Chain A
Amino acid sequence: MILIGENLNVMHKEISQAIKEHDPEPIRKLVVRQTQNGMEYLDLNVGPLTKKPVETMEWIVETVQEFTDLPLCLDTTNPVAMEAGLKICKKKALLNSASGTKESREKMLPLAPKCSAGVVLSVINDAGLPSDADERAASILESLEFTNEIGVPNEDIWIDPVLLPIGVDQRQVSAYLEFIQMIPDLAPGAKSVCGLSNLSYGAPKELKGLLNRTFLVMIGRYGQTSAIVSAFDGELISIKKGEMPEIVNLIYRAMNENDIDLSSLSRKEVEYVKTTQVLMGKSLYSHSWLEV
């Protein structure tokens, strides 16, 4: 599983301030910490960059590249900024993101072959977000055909099935799990990616990590190749490094079996089992899913 660090995000006031004032220090700190924590890509979520898109994007990419050798994943909805950023990336970068919408096909997707970048391609199309796994498959097949035609091979396409918060629609989480298992057949050689933290949006703060980590193990088992994650979740990093094989095996067991005897498990193990059951759609989600 390739982990992409999500923490450089313009939604954080410190970062938006740093970008506005061209102050490299807050950015340096975030970049160095994420690199040290074992991220393999860094996502630069810089927002729409409505003012001075080229100059700002160039400054951000150059600043980040001063402090890390990691490849970058540029996350902006502004195609002008995207192109400016992709052009100066030292390593093969990722365009995050394109989709099957008319606007994306015209303005965003062509930047990937033009700048020799990989591209995150979501299942969204002009009709919106597909409601189940089959509709996702139909949508991505169309987008893949178009993307291949303009010169991007499957190997450079990172499919994003779009992960919705479990508190918003649990059935969409099940659809997600079903869909990622179809990807090798739909798009041989393509990669897959998601914004993992979106899963726990709205969940109690202290339980977000548990949802995200459990789901990361589950989607890894189903063949997902990468995820955009928080680099500052120590337990998530431990799982990634292979330091928690018992928990990983327990999550696998909870995916397979319906009746796991909880009485012999530690509190932490029980939490992982209950969370797996909720994420598998075996029990209905509520914010207090651990309490039942």
Chain B
Amino acid sequence: MKYEAPLEHYTANIREAVVGQGEKAIRIGGENTFPFHFFEGSLPDPPGLALEVLDIEPENWVQTLLDPFQEVVSEPVKWAKRCVDVFGAEILCLRLLSTDPMGKDASAKQAAVIAKKVADAIDVPLIVWGTGVEEKDSQVLTEVAQVCSGKNLLLGPALKGNYEEIAKAAMEHGHAIVAQASMDVNLTKELNIALCKFFPPEKIVLDTTSSALGYGLEYTFSIIENIKQIGLIHRDNMMQMPILADFGGECWRTKEAKESKEQGILWEAITGITFLLAGANLLILRHPDTLKLIKEMISEKQ
């Protein structure tokens, strides 16, 4: 008798989100099964792998992280172009750290000018990230939405206290958003319900907030896994958005990552691969070698 492996078939789909426009736009999500379960369902879109760009010169970055960006760390446009042209990034994440009210506290207008310059200089999709300070982010991200109208950026994080302003601006100017609720499935659903009252669910990507290997990674893993299970098995349509994991900062803050280049890259790569195995659809990475390593690990060609 021939053995047939028992397979699960799920009747729900994760929504497919599109970031960017034209040929280089990327699609994430769309799967009707669990990560890498090619034998049992369809996973049309490979995970998105983004490289980070900061709008101000990084502070407290180890040399390993600065080396690939020699001479461009204080020029976000050149930094972005290097990520695309030299390191082959297919999507970028611009962090508007200059707007931090506890730091430089640059105005929304100033930040939006930088975002526009970066977006115009590259032909790959762009994620634009605030500082997580609700009031400031709602000014900054709405300004960015307007200045970059029509570019289909991915704007985040939209939080409980500012999702309305950010989502409305995103909708008006044709962008997608990242809805962030920290490490809690119930609050994730809560935010999604609130958003979906006026915002299209296919333009939402979820962020559960992420921890690094050795520093709480398993909590993030469980939450991501749980959201995917609730979406696919329980068919909860408020939990069927693709998921983003943003952990570069967490990884490179660890003493292990700082010890050596090899260990740092591995720390970030293992954290990233683990989140892909949990079900993340989009990773934001800090070191280009991590991007290369993860790409190799998940590509079909060996």
Contacts and interface: CB of A to CB of B under 8 A. Distances in A.
A292 B190 CA distance: 10
A284 B194 contact: no
Contacts of A287: 186, 190
A284 B193 contact: no
A244 to B, nearest CB: 28
A264 to B, nearest CB: 22
Interface residues of A, number: 11
B228 to A, nearest CB: 12
Interface string A258-288: 0000000000000000000000001111111
A291 interface: yes
A284 B187 contact: no
Contacts of A286: 186-187, 189-190, 193, 238
A170 B186 contact: yes
A167 B236 CA distance: 17
B12 interface: no
B239 interface: yes
Pick the most buried of B186, B189, B230, B234: most chain A CB atoms within 10 A of its CB.
Answer: B186
A284 B187 CA distance: 10
A287 B193 CA distance: 10
B194 A167 contact: no
A286 B188 CA distance: 8
Contact of B236 (A170, A284, A288, A291): A284
B23 to A, nearest CB: 37
Say what secondary structure dominates the interface of chain B.
Answer: helix
Say what secondary structure dominates the interface of chain A.
Answer: loop
Contacts of B190: 286-288
B186 A285 contact: yes
Interface residues of B, number: 13
Nearest to B227: A284
B114 interface: no
B237 to A, nearest CB: 8
B193 A291 contact: yes
Contacts of A284: 185-186, 189, 230, 234, 236, 238-239
A283 B236 contact: yes
Contacts of B238: 284, 286, 292
Interface string A102-123: 0000000000000000000000
A152 B59 CA distance: 67
Contacts of A167: 186
A28 to B, nearest CB: 41
Contacts of A170: 186
A292 B193 contact: yes
Pick the most buried of B193, B197, B239: most chain A CB atoms within 10 A of its CB.
Answer: B193
Interface in B192-223: 193-194, 197
Contacts of A292: 193, 238
B196 to A, nearest CB: 9
Interface in B231-260: 234, 236, 238-239
Contacts of B230: 284
B239 A288 contact: no
A167 B188 CA distance: 12
Nearest to B226: A284
Pick the most buried of A170, A285, A286, A291: most chain B CB atoms within 10 A of its CB.
Answer: A286
A286 B236 CA distance: 12
B159 to A, nearest CB: 16
A285 B230 CA distance: 11
Contacts of A291: 193, 197
A282 B234 CA distance: 8
Nearest to A202: B186
Interface string B130-144: 000000000000000
Contacts of A285: 186, 189
Given A286-B187, A288-B194, 15 more contacts: A167-B186, A170-B186, A282-B234, A283-B234, A284-B186, A284-B189, A284-B230, A284-B238, A284-B239, A285-B189, A286-B189, A286-B193, A287-B190, A288-B190, A288-B193
4 closest pairs, A vs B, by CB? A286-B189, A286-B190, A288-B193, A286-B186
19 contacts: A167-B186, A170-B186, A282-B234, A283-B236, A284-B185, A284-B186, A284-B189, A284-B230, A284-B234, A284-B238, A285-B189, A286-B187, A286-B189, A286-B190, A286-B238, A287-B190, A288-B193, A291-B193, A292-B193
